[in-house]
Amino acid sequence: MGTDTLRYTKLPLTNGSGAMPALGFGTLIPDPLATKQAIATALEVGFRHFDCAERYRNEQAVGDAMQGMLKAGNIRREDVFVTTKLWNNNHRPERVRPAFEASRQRLQVDYVDCYLIHTPFSFQPGNEQDPRDDHGQVIYDPGVTLVETWRALERLVDEGRCKSIGLSDVSLPQVQDIVDAARIKPAVVEVESHPYLPQWDLLDFCHQHGIVLLAFAALGHGMEPKLLDDPVLNTIAQRVHKTPAQVVLAWAVQRGTALVIFDDQNAVTYPGFEQYHATFRQTSSGINYNLHSTSHPGPRIGNPGVSLARIAS
């Protein structure tokens, strides 16, 4: 890869419109002020893909930061790829468009580049994001299917306010069901994926059907065992004179995936965006072979479906 290859790498959306920048910035940041500062810094250092969600409760702050940069003439809207997500309490078809419009208005954009169903689980419809019964248990909604919600997303594409649609935190069988039923196929499937949870079967299916796999937690998690401390990974990094993070990001892009980096993984606090622009003269097959041989020494961080406890926290 050339020095700026990762900066400019984009994955065409076969089942949507346009192309997704391979390197995305995750906006799961609790504090609105910190969100604005992080988004502004991310834009300044070169990020052009932002992974947002209704659930994060900070779309307004994300929109404020983007508008500040747009009005200053530092970026153009067409150069920024904005993804956001439908939360579980809005799965009923009649709730999808209002939820989408609320997100779009908070983000202060005329259109959304990609709209995802955040999880396959539908909660009791209403304004409460985390509805619970008297015993503290989540109240689910058995009255709507994932396919019904998907068809409501298809109508958003028909209306022109959303350029592509997709799924998040889903298993391979759930993706297969939507692909079989869909009039507009998923353009993107976002799941946790990294060398300890590579999702090979799902990735193969996505490649076969022209779907971009968007990997979140691409650098693993802070819990033990830490991906970036992996001895195989560090051996490769030393051999190619790069950081373990650069090796992982290069591996992800070489597999044909896009990926999301979160601010708690120092995405914008490293000295320069180039820390995430890995330059490798070694063949991709060499790096892929070594990482493919890496096995998680403990239980998987998540499963191919969803870690609802983490999402709902």
| H helix or E strand, kind and range, residue 156 | helix 146-159
Q: Which of 162, 152, 164 is nearest to 125 (CA)?
A: 152
Q: How far apart are CA 18 and CA 171, in angstroms?
A: 26
Domain count, the chain: 1
Q: What is the pLDDT of residue 264?
A: 56
Q: How far apart are CA 201 and CA 171, in angstroms?
A: 10
Q: Which of 201, 211, 220 is nearest to 179 (CA)?
A: 211
Spatial contact of 268 and 34, defined as CB atoms under 8 Å apart: no
* Alpha-carbon radius of gyration of the chain: 19
| Ranges under pLDDT 50 in the chain | 1-3, 265-313
In terms of Cβ atoms closer than 10 Å to its own Cβ (0-12, 13-18, 19+), residue 175 is: buried
How confident is the model over 26-59, as pLDDT tens digits? 999 999 999 999 999 999 999 999 999 999 999 9
Q: How far apart are CA 258 and CA 188, in angstroms?
A: 9
Q: Which of 99, 81, 156, 87 is nearest to 124 (CA)?
A: 87
Q: What is the pLDDT of residue 263?
A: 67
Q: In Å, how far from its chain's centre is CA 101? A: 20
Spatial contact of 115 and 84, defined as CB atoms under 8 Å apart: yes
Spatial contact of 125 and 91, defined as CB atoms under 8 Å apart: yes
Contacts of 97 (CB under 8 A, 6+ apart): 152, 155, 156
User: Could you give the count of Cα atoms lying within 13 Å of 51 in the half-sphere of its Cβ?
Assistant: 29
Q: What is the pLDDT of residue 203?
A: 98
Q: Which of 270, 247, 271, 242 is nearest to 259 (CA)?
A: 247
Q: How far apart are CA 305 and CA 108, in angstroms?
A: 31
Residue 182: strand, helix, or coil: coil
Q: What is the pLDDT of residue 103?
A: 98
Instruction: Count CB neighbours of 272 within 10 A.
Output: 10
CATH number reported for the structural domain that contains residue 62 in this entry = 3.20.20.100
Contacts of 189 (CB under 8 A, 6+ apart): 166, 167, 168, 170, 175, 202, 206, 211, 212, 213, 214
- pTM of the entire structure? 0.86
In terms of Cβ atoms closer than 10 Å to its own Cβ (0-12, 13-18, 19+), residue 82 is: buried
In terms of Cβ atoms closer than 10 Å to its own Cβ (0-12, 13-18, 19+), residue 299 is: exposed
Q: How far apart are CA 2 and CA 263, in angstroms?
A: 25
- Residue 66, domain extent: 5-312
Q: Which of 125, 51, 60, 61 is nearest to 87 (CA)?
A: 125
Q: What is the pLDDT of residue 221?
A: 79
Just list the catalytic residues: 56
